Amino acid sequence: MIKVVGLGPGSIESLTIGAVNALKDVGKVYLRTEKHPTVDYLRQLGINFETYDYLYEKNQKFEDVYRSIAEDLILKEKNFHKIIYAVPGHPLVAEKSVKLLLKLCEQNSVDVDIIPSVSFIDVIAEKLNIDVIEGIKIIDAFDIKHQTLDKRVGTIITQVYDRLIASEVKLKLMDYYGDDADIYFIRAAGVKDSETIRKIKLYELDRQEDIDYLTSIYIPKDLESKYDLKDLLDVMEKLRSQEGCPWDKEQNHESLKKYLIEESYEVLEAINKKDDVELTEELGDVLFQIVFHSQIGKEEGFFNINDVINGVCDKMIKRHPHVFGDIEVNNSEEVITNWDALKKKEQGLKTHTDELRHVAQTLPALMRAAKVQKKAAKVGFDWDKVECALDKVLEEYYEVKDVYKSKERVKIVEEIGDLIFACVNVARFLDIDPEFALNYTIEKFINRFAYIEKSAREKGMDMEDMTLNEMDELWEKAKNI
């Protein structure tokens, strides 16, 4: 039998009679730590105990400390049959060692008796007039990187032991809340003559002089804080509701297709301009399109945003076995090889032709051509050197020349397509993105055209009244600028 006793937040008044009686009743008492205000009182009562403070020195990670404590307590129980394990606060509130111990007790058929006490959560709620029915989230500072923050409930972060941990907590919170958000710094909650509770700005957290093992912080509920994904989903639902926007209510998956493409290209434009402010805005527009489609899917009963997120998480985990599994890779080329193999298996692509056909027909033609050629090249269907690809361009050029004066429109289209496809092959050989190369040329053309128009206006002329030779002359000048 292991009795797990709570020592309360730190004041003698918070110790329950049941906890004191249990500590007196059993000879073998083990404390997680003696760094707790009530420990001196236990000594005054003549209670003998051992502590696990030495494990904090032997282990670098707190998780290892807690696991070692739990495992040792199971061994102690086998030797002495009835022991006490006492922890600060309430045994079931923010106490990982107890959580691990309960799991081991279940696995080893060891009886456990939890003797509760007042927790520091009770004290904080009392001091700050918090009604917990409105929702409260409790986070261990050491686990904050794995937690999802929510401005809709108050949040208590425990075990902010030192400035380093406080700094890590601050950075995580600043990703979600504003830098100057109001928070409460809480030290020794419920301990008379030692308790400190003060309101500070979030950015000041790791500058506090009195941070120690009794420190916690509280972030009040703040619905006026930054918008988050839930807000975006609510906005979208409102727009599609009876009281929403007539235009938004009329849209469906088909009608929205062009907007997703347009917004995606505007993201690329912002990337090309290296404008982070614009990129932030344009990525938001793309995200809005995803939320829009997800809302329509929800209304139709086929899928919602959670299905979208679940699907992509599942896919990324499965396709990165070198990160989430036990597969080893040496470079990015091996990553791509594994990715393609997993993708082929998932999508049921049985032949190489299946892979070519699976390249989306809705991609821009140059991009689609490059992808198809690259997949074909992987199985050896490719030229030996770039010169052969260049010769193919010449061959296709002459075939266009042979038919362009004819009335065989289908044949002309075919030969023009062959010529462009051959040019894409050359770009692929030279590791040049054909989309980028063509867009570069388009911009160059526009800039030179602008020079011609500007020069003509400076001479008091209109381009429409100029001869081709006059424009060519200015074009050549533009090439040298």
Task: For residue range 5-62, list pLDDT tens digits in order.
Answer: 999 888 888 888 999 999 998 889 999 999 888 899 999 999 999 999 999 888 878 8
Which residue from 122, 68, 71 is spatially nearest to 92, judged by alpha carbons? 122
Quote the domain boundaries for residue 459.
436-479
Which residue did the predictor score with more confidence, 404 or 292?
Answer: 292
pLDDT, position 445: 93
* Average pLDDT estimate for 107-112: 94
Token representation of residue 107: 């696995």
pLDDT-wise least confident of 211-215, 290-294, 343-347, 388-392 = 343-347
Mean pLDDT of the chain: 91
Residue 346: per-residue pLDDT: 83
Domain boundary among 66, 99, 117: 117
Residues 6 and 105 in one domain: yes
CA dist 205 and 144 (Å) reads 15
Task: Give yes or no: residues 113 and 148 share one domain.
Answer: no
Ramachandran region, residue 274 (left: φ > 0; alpha: ψ -120 to 50; beta: rest): left
Instruction: Report pLDDT for 390.
Output: 94
Residue 1 contacts residue 22 (beta carbons within 8 Å): no
Q: Could you tell me if 145 and 181 lie in one domain?
A: yes
Whether the pLDDT of residue 326 is over 80: the answer is yes
Which of 51, 85, 117 terminates a domain? The answer is 117
For residues 20 and 103, state if they share a domain. Answer: yes
- Average confidence (pLDDT) over 268-273: 92
Residue 426 clears pLDDT 80, i.e. is over it: yes
* Structural domain includes residue 374: no
- DSSP of 227-296: --HHHHHHHHHHHTSTTS-HHHHH--HHHHHHHHHHHHHHHHHHHHHT-HHHHHHHHHHHHHHHHHHHHH
Asked if residue 370 is part of any domain, the answer here is no
Do 202 and 177 form a contact (C-beta atoms < 8 A)? yes
What percent of the chain clears pLDDT 70, i.e. is strictly above it?
Answer: 100
Quick check: is 386 in a domain? no
Tell me which H or E stretch contains 105.
helix 96-107
Greatest C-alpha distance within the chain? 109
Q: Of 348, 366, 355, whose CA–CA distance to 420 is shortest?
A: 366
Residue 134, by phi and psi: left (phi above 0), alpha (psi -120 to 50) or beta? alpha
Task: Mark whether 73 and 130 lie in a shared domain.
Answer: no
Same domain, 300 and 266: yes
Answer whether residue 108 shows pLDDT above 90.
yes
Q: Shortest CA distance to 118 belongs to which of 38, 29, 184?
A: 38
Give the per-residue pLDDT at 465: 87
Task: Judge whether residue 204 has pLDDT over 90.
Answer: yes
Q: Is position 224 within any domain?
A: no
Q: Residue 336: its pLDDT value, please? A: 84
- How far is Cα 254 from Cα 258, in angstroms, rounded to an integer? 8
Residue range 251-274: average pLDDT? Answer: 93
Report the domain count for the chain. 4
In tens, the pLDDT along 185-199 reads 999 888 877 889 999
Are 204 and 238 within one domain?
no
Query: What's the pLDDT score for residue 94?
Result: 82
Q: What interhelical angle do 276-300 and 305-318 show, nearest 10?
A: 110
Note whether residue 458 is domain-resident.
Answer: yes
Is residue 310 a part of any domain in this protein?
Answer: yes
Confidence of residue 100 (pLDDT cuts 50, 70, 90): very high
Q: In this structure, are 112 and 151 located in the same domain?
A: no
pTM above 0.85, yes or no: no
pLDDT at 431 exceeding the cut of 80 = yes
Confidence of residue 225 (pLDDT cuts 50, 70, 90): confident
pLDDT at 421: 94
SS3 88: coil
Flag whether pLDDT at 344 surpasses 80: yes
Q: What is the CATH number of the domain that holds 71?
A: 3.40.1010.10
pLDDT > 80? residue 408? yes
pLDDT tens, 443-471? 999 999 999 999 989 988 888 888 999 89
* Residue 296: pLDDT over 90: yes
pLDDT score of 71 = 94
Side-chain-facing half-sphere of 226: CA atoms under 13 Å? 13
Token pair 């292991």 is found at 2
Q: Is residue 283 a part of any domain in this protein?
A: yes
pLDDT of residue 213: 82
Residue 467 counted as domain residue: yes
Whether 26 and 109 map to the same domain: the answer is: yes
SS3 assignment, position 432? coil
